[in-house]
Structure 1
Amino acid sequence: MKQTSFLGDLLTTLFERRRVAADSRDPRPIEAMCRALLSSEGMVSGIQLSRAILSRYAGLDGAGKRGFFDFLNDALELDPARIAGLAARYADSPDVETYRALTAAAEPPRQELLRRLNQAGGATAELVRMRADLLELLREAPELRRTDMDFIHLLRSWFNRGFLVLRPITWETSASILEKIVAYEAVHAIDDWDDLRRRLYPPDRRCFAYFHPTMPDEPLIFVEVALTAGVAGSIQQVLAEDRTPLRPEQMTTAVFYSISNCQKGLKGISFGNLLIKQVVAELGAELPQLDTFVTLSPMPGFSRWLAQVRHIPRAARILRGAAGRDEVEAMAARYLLHARTEDGEPLDPVARFHLGNGAHVHAVHADADTTGNGRRQSCGAMVNYFYDLARIEANHAGFVLHGKIAAEKAVRQKASAPENHPQEAAE
């Protein structure tokens, strides 16, 4: 019985998200409660105290939350003089005790506070929401980035691949999770339940999401996949209401047409690379006839870039809606292969993600997203990134080590169209 009770308690700790009633009788300011959690009091009654702190934080207004983060940032900061002294001592005598003291001093106390706050049931989700609040404050208080770095350090540990659970999202998935899929879709808005059903129910459609054991009802990131008979060149083709679903033997290509991050508080914690690779493995095992894995991706900075190079006649025509398909695709290829940030990386954020994962630019398409959002952000153009399993490692190394963008010959030819280059120096 004791063993069964222990297992039940363990599962409750991992999966229970309902708030435990906090001890609202603690009269101390939240800062004093945090110091107590870091003291011997926290060793004795840490779960109750962490629950009380999180409850108190949730009730703070904007100014109160700013004060809380200022406390973390300033009062729970590193002691540089102590670190320097210990580092000098360790350089002279690298013994274990000095090493232990140095590593402890090199970690700001706020990291340990966050760890202890994570003891309470449901605390992980609350700390993710806490970090979302912090991100909102960084615009006006960039000095809080020190504290944000500590959040990132811990969240990357708590949300590493070993803890993530891949789950298929189907029409039979609970309504509460399906509602969140609709709300979190960030690439191609889901209009209604019929639209969602068209993306989940047919046998040639798939959706997968990552979950964390402490947040079992909250997707972290999800990907929508169309199983097709070839590389899709438009989102209208993928999401057509009147299309005929394919039979398994007709499916040769997996098209990843939407990847959406769900938790604002996990910004900067990358799951997409892991998700794509695991979904490729899952689909390959289920449907061994699949031999092509591509995306159908937006180019969210294309229109903005065209406005910056409108002195190129072709760019100006695209912005006016007067350009032909060939002109749009030529400038889209030019944007993807040659438009760079000051650091030399591809200007387009989606390109940085997929190229960094080892994909290559396969094809560009005009009139591929004729929705209002598609027209606004990319003048209707989209791109396929190809995940060629035989080339992924080489592509990844070339991109990371040398900034090389792998692309099909046809895309390079479009990018080198004569009108694209005379004005290159002006960009």
Structure 2
Amino acid sequence: MQRNRFLGDLLSQLFDRRSYMRGKDDTRDIFELCQALLSAEGQVSGLRLAATILDRYAALEQNEKTAFFQFLNNELDIDAQQVARLATEYAKTPTPAVFQKLSTASEPKRQELFRRLNQPVGATQALVAMRVDLLARLKEDSDLARTNLDLVHLLRSWFNRGFLVLQQINWDTSARILDKIVAYEAVHHINDLDDLRRRLYPPDRRCFAFFHPAMPDEPLIFVEVALTADIPGSIDSVLSDHRTPLDADQAKTAVFYSISNCQKGLAGISFGNLLIKQVVSELSMACPQIESYVTLSPIPGLNNWLATQTEDERHGNTAQSTLDGTATSEEVRAMAARYLLMAKRDDGLPVDPVARFHLGNGAMIHDVHANADTSPNGAAQSSGAMVNYLYDLTQVERNHERFAMDAAVVASRGMRALSNATLATQTKE
């Protein structure tokens, strides 16, 4: 029985390969091939057609890719009049048969095209890369957002939690993946292999990443973790070349100090909240003595906000001195606290994107630190300030609900006091 199964798999691969080779000789253009894939021909020769279309797409010039997306957007859209007619019919006669007709008519043909394209080996990664091209064109052609919505809808389904695989990244991980960790690090640049080793090899360092079975060598998102004795107030101390490593069983705090999304084509599809919860679960089993789970996070929007506050009667002088680099550490902390607790968008959510992410996960703002990131990037975006978000496992669900329902910013008493602290009166020069 095992021999028969093996023989069947081998013959299937051979026939697939022959079909693929025949696809290279297909003289139809990419638009005709897409229509063929959606037709009865696609039911019979779908793998060959899908592979041919993806190969043709990869070879297109930029203007040809734009034409391809416009084809998807306009020629493979829904028939609005048909949908309206069927919706009216279903309102009068809500039978399963009418419902099926309405459901079919309501789904753009491009969704089914994307599904059928996702057949050959490597197709999922090719479609993720295709969305990178699509996102670049949205800036100039907002109508393409319709096609983007359909592709996001499918990618969210294909990359849901049930398909994600958590892996620990360590010094023994394949060089190919380690190279990608270096390339994708978006928060604290990894300088060289020695720097990478310092983040992966010592007993008080961890790194975890999500992978997808269709993209086994491509991390989707990864988080770097430091196991420490207490809550740190400086990324420089966490990443120091000269620190003394701590035995993992002596750690009391797990610090998430860098979270990097790796795939631009999956922008808008959130993995971070799942990753943090999964990593907390893993660490709580491996290191049960850990008492606190916190971040040491950047405050990317602080200086931009300060620049809008320099004329404010309450704190304009301190905002200006923070930008000038002449404010005291306590003044920098106070301005960071005001920004994180008070700066809101029109929809009532915090201006800061990192704050929205962690508060949305159920964390609370625990503390802020001046002179925490002395890198050029840290100085430029937040005058060196950083923040700890605390994940209290007994409160995360409650905090998440408060943020989701009321946009409530949960913060420690110390942070609230700091945000309301009286600032020294200063005179602008």
Would the alpha carbon gap of residues 104 and 413 (structure 1) be closer, same or farther in structure 2, given more than 3 Å must change?
same
**1:191-270 superposed matches below 5 A:** 191-270=191-270
Aligned twin of 1:3:
5
Whole-Å Cα distance in 1 between the matches of residues 336 and 80 of structure 2? Answer: 50
Would the alpha carbon gap of residues 420 and 156 (structure 1) be closer, same or farther in structure 2, given more than 3 Å must change?
farther
- C-alpha displacement at 1:294, in angstroms? 0.3
Helix, strand or coil at the partner of 1:219: coil
Aligned twin of 1:402:
406
Is residue 40 of structure 2 the alignment partner of residue 66 of structure 1? Answer: no
Whole-Å Cα distance in 2 between the matches of residues 189 and 9 of structure 1? Answer: 48
Would the alpha carbon gap of residues 22 and 236 (structure 1) be closer, same or farther in structure 2, given more than 3 Å must change?
farther
Amino acid at match of 2:215: M
Is residue 343 of structure 2 the alignment partner of residue 339 of structure 1? Answer: yes
**1:28-427 superposed matches below 5 A:** 28-311=28-311, 312-419=316-423
Give the structure-1-normalised TM-score: 0.94
Runs (4 or more) in structure 1 with deviation over 6 Å come to: 6-10
Helix, strand or coil at the partner of 2:288: coil
Would the alpha carbon gap of residues 9 and 171 (structure 1) be closer, same or farther in structure 2, given more than 3 Å must change?
farther
Helix, strand or coil at the partner of 1:418: coil
Would the alpha carbon gap of residues 276 and 244 (structure 1) be closer, same or farther in structure 2, given more than 3 Å must change?
same
- C-alpha displacement at 1:45, in angstroms? 0.2
Whole-Å Cα distance in 2 between the matches of residues 248 and 54 of structure 1? Answer: 47
Helix, strand or coil at the partner of 1:209: strand
Aligned twin of 2:17:
none
- What per-residue deviation string (whole Å, max 9, x for no partner) do you get for residues 355-398 of structure 1? 00000000000000000011011110000000001110111111
Contact 1:334/1:420 (<8 A) preserved:
no
> 412-421 or 115-124: which moved more?
412-421
Contact 1:331/1:420 (<8 A) preserved:
no
Amino acid at match of 1:141: D
Aligned twin of 1:15:
none
Whole-Å Cα distance in 1 between the matches of residues 128 and 362 of structure 2? Answer: 29
- What per-residue deviation string (whole Å, max 9, x for no partner) do you get for residues 85-113 of structure 1? 11111111111111111101110000000
- C-alpha displacement at 1:146, in angstroms? 0.5
- What per-residue deviation string (whole Å, max 9, x for no partner) do you get for residues 59-93 of structure 1? 00110000000000000001111111111111111
Amino acid at match of 1:299: I
> 79-88 or 185-194: which moved more?
79-88
- What per-residue deviation string (whole Å, max 9, x for no partner) do you get for residues 218-262 of structure 1? 000000000000101110010010111111332011000000000
Contact 2:331/2:423 (<8 A) preserved:
no
Whole-Å Cα distance in 1 between the matches of residues 287 and 318 of structure 2? Answer: 43
Percent identity over the alignment is 57
Contact 2:227/2:252 (<8 A) preserved:
yes
Amino acid at match of 1:3: R
Whole-Å Cα distance in 2 between the matches of residues 229 and 324 of structure 1? Answer: 28
Helix, strand or coil at the partner of 2:387: strand
Amino acid at match of 2:249: E
Contact 1:255/1:293 (<8 A) preserved:
yes
Whole-Å Cα distance in 1 between the matches of residues 235 and 374 of structure 2? Answer: 8
Unaligned runs of 5+ in 2: 14-19
Would the alpha carbon gap of residues 275 and 21 (structure 1) be closer, same or farther in structure 2, given more than 3 Å must change?
farther
Whole-Å Cα distance in 1 between the matches of residues 88 and 395 of structure 2? Answer: 47
Amino acid at match of 1:47: L
Whole-Å Cα distance in 1 between the matches of residues 150 and 234 of structure 2? Answer: 41
Aligned length: 413
Whole-Å Cα distance in 2 between the matches of residues 237 and 57 of structure 1? Answer: 48
Helix, strand or coil at the partner of 1:384: strand
Unaligned runs of 5+ in 1: 13-19, 422-427
Would the alpha carbon gap of residues 246 and 65 (structure 1) be closer, same or farther in structure 2, given more than 3 Å must change?
same
- C-alpha displacement at 1:23, in angstroms? 2.4
CA-based RMSD: 1.6
- C-alpha displacement at 1:7, in angstroms? 7.3
Helix, strand or coil at the partner of 2:297: coil
Whole-Å Cα distance in 1 between the matches of residues 258 and 424 of structure 2? Answer: 30
